[in-house]
């Protein structure tokens, strides 16, 4: 981690960066997000296989630094969220310094060490182990034990009948406690006033009843269509283990199939919903 610390110290000392969003390890060996404001703080920065958190979530939540840009430590997959935010005009590329990390896979459960079973599915098929769009690339690429893609969960799920799928989601959404952890953990959920917070009128019930839960989770999936970059932080944050990634991946596949679109690839690519193209399909309009 020497390289990461050296770069961070230099950025902070020269005031090129006002603060750096990174990871640190506490005395119980938990890897967690950490904001380094000083060179002393920078000594605490680290990166390892437990660095699963998508730090891009802080880009729209922390106040801007008084002086300098925002430094951010990011894996290749996290950078997709950053690019997505740039595409949506939430941040400017010039306002951030991306310290890209060569990545050797990250855990599913942050309380257990990395192993083949405790590895994110997305890591098995990752093509961004060396990140793109970064100002710096740090760290060494090493072989790592990949989780086996034993089945295509989404395809299996889609093979169920509509009635079976409905029953599945009824059971899952009954668990929802409307804590909105999924929304808070998502880097692309940055609306200053979320639709659930709009009270005149109250579009979505705030109560954790099955009706309110269905409405909330489906609206969120819709609002993320063509915008979700698949980091899975929502599912990781959910305290009642609702398989939210199924919903988001489905919408991602629709965006790909119908519009050949994936979010967070190139900063100057026009966004899916935010742009009109004369060649867009209109077969669903009467």
Partner 1 sequence: MKNFVITREQLANLASKLLGENWTVISPSQNGSKYLKIKDAKDLIIDSALKPTDISMKEHFFPKSETLFFFKRKKDDYELIDAPGSEAKTVIFGAKPCDASAIPVLSKVFNWDYKDEFFNKRVENTVIIGLACKFEDENCFCTSVGLSPLAENGSDIFLIPLSDDKYFMKPITDKGRDFIAANETFISEADNISEPINDFSTPQKRFSTENVKEWLDKNFESKFWFNAGETCIGCAQCAYVCPTCHCFDIVDEDCYSCGRRVKNWDSCQFELFTKHASGHNPREIQGKRYRQRVSHKFKYYKDRFDELLCTGCGRCTRGCPVSIDIGLILEDINSHFLETINVNN
Partner 2 sequence: MNIYKPELVEIKDIIVETPDIKTFRLQFKDPQLQNNFTFKAGQFAEYSVFGEGECTFCIASSPTRLEFLECSFKMYGKVTNALNRLKVGDTMGLRGPYGNYFPVEEMKGKNVVFIAGGIGLAPVRCAIWNVFDMRSEFKDVTIIYGARTVADLVYKHEIEEWKSMKDVKTIITVDPGGETSDWKGEIGFVPTIVEKVAPQSDNSVAIICGPPIMIKYTLPVMLKLGFKEENILTTLENRMKCGLGKCGRCNIGSVYVCKDGPVFSYLQLKELPEDF
Nearer to partner 1, 55 or 272 (CB): 55
Task: Give the residues across from 136 on adjacent strands.
Answer: 99
In angstroms, give the least distance from the CB of 202 to partner 2.
8
Q: Residue 121: how many CB atoms within 10 A of its CB?
A: 17
Using CB atoms within 10 Å of the CB of residue 147, give its burial: 0 to 12 exposed, 13 to 18 middle, 19+ buried. Answer: middle
Tokens of 136: 């710096």
In angstroms, give the least distance from the CB of 173 to partner 2.
25
Instruction: DSSP for 134-163, please give it.
Output: -SEEES-----PPPP----HHHHHHTS-HH
200 binds, among partner 2, partner 1, none (CB under 5 to 8 A by kind): partner 2
Q: In the 8-state DSSP scheme, what is residue 57?
A: G
Give the count of residues interacting with partner 2 (CB under 8 A): 3
178 binds, among partner 2, partner 1, none (CB under 5 to 8 A by kind): partner 1
Q: Is the peptide bond before 201 cis (omega within 30 degrees of 0)?
A: yes
Tokens of 28: 């119980």
202: contact with partner 2 by CB under 8 A: yes
Q: Footprint of partner 1 on this chain (CB under 8 A)? A: 26-28, 30-35, 53, 57-58, 61-63, 110-111, 177-181, 183-185, 197, 202, 205-209, 233, 236-237, 239-241
Single residue of 162, 200, 285, 286 touching partner 2 by CB under 8 A: 200
**Interface residues toward partner 2, by CB under 8 A:** 199-200, 202
């Amino acid at each position: 981690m020497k390289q990461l610390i050296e770069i961070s110290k230099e950025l902070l000392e020269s005031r090129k960066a006002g603060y750096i969003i990174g990871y640190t390890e506490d005395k119980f060996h938990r890897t967690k997000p950490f904001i380094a404001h000083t060179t002393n703080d920078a000594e605490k920065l680290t990166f390892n296989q437990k660095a699963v958190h998508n730090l891009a979530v802080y880009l729209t939540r922390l106040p801007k630094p008084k002086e300098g840009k925002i430094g951010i430590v990011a894996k290749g997959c996290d950078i997709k969220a950053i690019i997505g935010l740039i595409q949506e005009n939430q941040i400017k590329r010039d306002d951030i310094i991306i310290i890209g990390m060569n990545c050797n896979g990250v855990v599913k459960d942050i309380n257990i060490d990395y192993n083949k079973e405790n590895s994110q599915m997305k890591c098995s098929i990752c093509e961004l182990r060396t990140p793109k769009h970064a100002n710096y690339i740090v760290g060494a690429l090493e072989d790592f034990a990949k989780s086996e893609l034993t089945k295509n969960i989404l395809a299996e799920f889609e093979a169920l009948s509509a009635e079976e799928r409905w029953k599945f989601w009824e059971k899952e959404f009954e668990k929802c406690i409307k804590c909105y952890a999924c929304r808070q953990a998502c880097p692309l959920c940055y609306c200053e006033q979320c639709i659930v917070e709009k009270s005149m009128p109250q579009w979505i019930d705030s109560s954790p009843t099955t009706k309110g839960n269905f409405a909330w989770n489906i609206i969120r999936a819709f609002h993320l269509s063509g915008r979700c970059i698949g980091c899975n932080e929502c599912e990781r944050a959910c305290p009642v283990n609702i398989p939210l990634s199924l919903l988001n991946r489905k919408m991602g596949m629709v965006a790909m199939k119908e519009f050949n679109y994936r979010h967070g690839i190139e900063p100057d690519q026009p966004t899916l919903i935010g742009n009109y193209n004369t060649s867009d399909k209109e077969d669903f309009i009467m």
